[in-house]
Structure 1
Amino acid sequence: MDTWKQMMDWKRMAEQYFGDQFFAPAEPPSAEAARNNDPLCNIYETAQEICCVLALPGLNRTEDVEVFVDSSKLTVRGKLSIVLDSYKLNKEEFQLGEFNRVIDLPVKVLQEPIQAFYRKGLLFIRMLKDHRAAENQQRVHLRWVQE
């Protein structure tokens, strides 16, 4: 059997099992986040809500992070630290110290209710979409003007 055909068969089976996005290329971190060494963020959405997930390893207490939401932006700031007694840092690949990440949201959100929780090094922030903005839009009726 042809090796290429075997590989394509395997790809089809993987996509069938894992979904179409299994082989989709991952987006690199935003240039701004990489430049500022800010926490990485994934944004998920349903028809009713947005969920932002930030990677925050080393968050010791919930008081070490602040979350602010306006209708189109999410701001998360705080301080991350990992202390290992009798060890000195040899190599650092993820950001520690103070951070301030401003995230442009893909849609407008309500400022309340907002749920935020921290689990396994990840900060989850759930916000309801503001559907009123779309409902408040009015159709403009055009009028033909003769010159």
Structure 2
Amino acid sequence: MKQFEDWKKNLDHFFDQDFWGDFEGIMKPSIPNINMYQYDNELLCIVNIPGMNHPKNVDVVVDHSTLTLKGTIDINHRGGHQIKSEIATGAFERSIDLPFAVRSDKMEATYKHGLLVIQMFRFISESTRQKPIKIRHLEDD
């Protein structure tokens, strides 16, 4: 790994800029991985956070129409020489734009078997709330 870092620094120096900056989003996957499902007035967000021994180790914040996740993925394995690394680990912070604003008073999150499930509901303001229309009965003359 040290050799790769040295190689990367040499390329940056050679091109006199951050040569790899544009490629890092392609080379490194966003962590944590997320699946999001939209229903009529509901969003269900499933977040893959392996190795989390307690949900208090991740912060979930919703601000109007942005979901922000912040925490650490720690596999906590010591000893041995790692020969393959596909599970992203370390500190993360990820913000996701939601397709609509959500209610701050009606959210629920659960964590089980490495998956954080966040349920959110669409915010419907008084101005956008559907209002029933009264039907006037017109009598035949």
| TM bin (shorter chain) | 0.5 to 0.7
TM-score of the two chains, using structure 1 as the length reference: 0.63
Q: Secondary structure at the match of 1:63?
A: helix
1:62-92 deviation line (CA, Å, top 9, x unaligned): 1110000011100001011112354443211
Comparing 70-79 and 85-94, the one that deviates more: 85-94
1:90-119 deviation line (CA, Å, top 9, x unaligned): 211121110001000011111122101112
The aligned length equals 107
Q: Sequence identity of aligned pairs in percent?
A: 32
> Partner of 1:100 in structure 2?
93
Q: Secondary structure at the match of 1:53?
A: strand
Q: 30, 33, 57: which is aligned to 2:50? A: 57
Structure 2: unaligned runs, 5 residues or longer = 1-23, 130-141
TM-score of the two chains, using structure 2 as the length reference: 0.66
Superposition CA RMSD, Å:
2.5
Structure 1: unaligned runs, 5 residues or longer = 1-30, 137-147
Shift of 1:44: 0.7
Structure with the greater alpha carbon radius of gyration: 2
- The aligned amino acid for 1:106 is P
Q: Secondary structure at the match of 1:135?
A: coil
For 1:32 and 1:41, locate their aligned partners in 2 and report how far apart those are by CA, in whole Å: 16
- The aligned amino acid for 1:68 is V
- Does the 8 Å contact 1:49/1:127 carry over to 2? yes
For 1:44 and 1:127, locate their aligned partners in 2 and report how far apart those are by CA, in whole Å: 11
Q: 78, 81, 84: which is aligned to 2:74? A: 81
Higher helix share: 1
- The aligned amino acid for 1:98 is A
Comparing 55-64 and 34-43, the one that deviates more: 34-43
- Does the 8 Å contact 1:33/1:39 carry over to 2? no
